[in-house]
Structure 1
């Protein structure tokens, strides 16, 4: 899990605007891996997405048409909808992500750090962006923001 915290308390919007695939690649090339004890607030996120429009934008609009070509699954079938529910929880034991797509696919990702090694300490005490990346490609799987520090009564947690 990658945490990106702005230098200034009110710098989260600027940080988000500056995130691009290019500067994330640069970050990946320059990052040095070491054990770090990160103090991060506990949080839970749940989001529900209708995937119909994103799939159409990817060129998969035929899946939702009457003449959809899904012969390998069943004759004369089309998708009526495609929905995805994602939950993400971060606490002192680690991170858990659950993704369910239209009830047909289910994947749980768990990471628990069991090593007891000397670590650097890093305290996250202002709004931040977080990212969970695929291990081999380092491509982003989940990106979100936490802004709960601004007002103790109101917090915003979002997955993009």
Structure 2
């Protein structure tokens, strides 16, 4: 990757990060608009890290569970195209495998909303198995707790 390409890639991640801050600040509509504009630029064939990150958070801006599922599936597809090397280029020490527990957890939650418990159980099982790579820190504990909550909810269905 040339220096110009790296700077451009960093600019995309910065813009995605700014939209994530809007989302976490409660401005779902503006975050959705910004994610949409960035997605229009990078598209389905863009950098896998950009697509995975953007789609993962774009799903959280959706009002319709079917749209949320579509974005979460895009995130999973993009993650499948990532390498540990690409993630390291961005400066994160995370390995690709730490993305999967959250991605599968989100898909399981989507399927619960869509009243498809069998599909939800498949992804919840994948999330649980993938969570073995998570550290014993706040993030790892939070993902494991969310898996447990969704498991209990599915047992009630």
TM-score w.r.t. structure 1 length?
0.24
- Higher helix proportion, which one? 2
**Bigger fraction of residues in strand:** 1
- For CA contacts below 8 A with separation 6 or more, give which structure has more relative contact order: 1
Structure number with larger C-alpha Rg: 1
